[in-house]
């Protein structure tokens, strides 16, 4: 899109409850999958790990990492994606 169109889109987004993110290519890794007909296979899946920290100042209320895995690059549940808990543990 043109720079002017981008500026207009950002200005419109700032007037509402929106989050603007840059779309980046997602990595793919092989994960074990199961089907009744083929059994256990290792298939390519898109992977998206989203670490997040919640808290104010020095007090961290929660530190987590949401990892989503799917066969298509849209990793939400409605597109067939799923969460992969736990990704890793932080702290003690």
Quickly tell me which residue has 């969460």 as its tokens. Answer: 83
Quote the radius of gyration of the chain (alpha carbons, Å).
Answer: 18
Helices (H), 1-92: 3-14
Summarised one tens digit per residue, pLDDT across range 39-75 is 999 999 998 887 777 776 777 766 777 788 888 888 7
CA distances from 1 to 10, 12, 47 (A): 12, 15, 27
Quickly tell me which residue has 């104010």 as its tokens. Answer: 56
pLDDT > 90: percent of the chain: 18
The DSSP output letter for 77 is: G
Res 87 pLDDT > 70? no
pTM for this model (two decimals): 0.57
């Amino acid at each position: 899109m043109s720079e002017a169109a981008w500026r207009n889109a950002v200005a419109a987004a700032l007037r509402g409850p929106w989050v603007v993110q840059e779309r980046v290519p997602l990595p793919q890794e092989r994960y074990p999958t199961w089907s009744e007909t083929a059994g256990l296979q290792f298939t390519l899946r898109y992977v998206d790990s989203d670490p997040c920290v919640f808290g104010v100042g020095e007090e961290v209320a929660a530190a987590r990492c949401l990892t989503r895995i799917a066969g298509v690059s849209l990793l939400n549940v409605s597109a067939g994606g799923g969460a992969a808990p736990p990704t890793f543990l932080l702290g003690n």
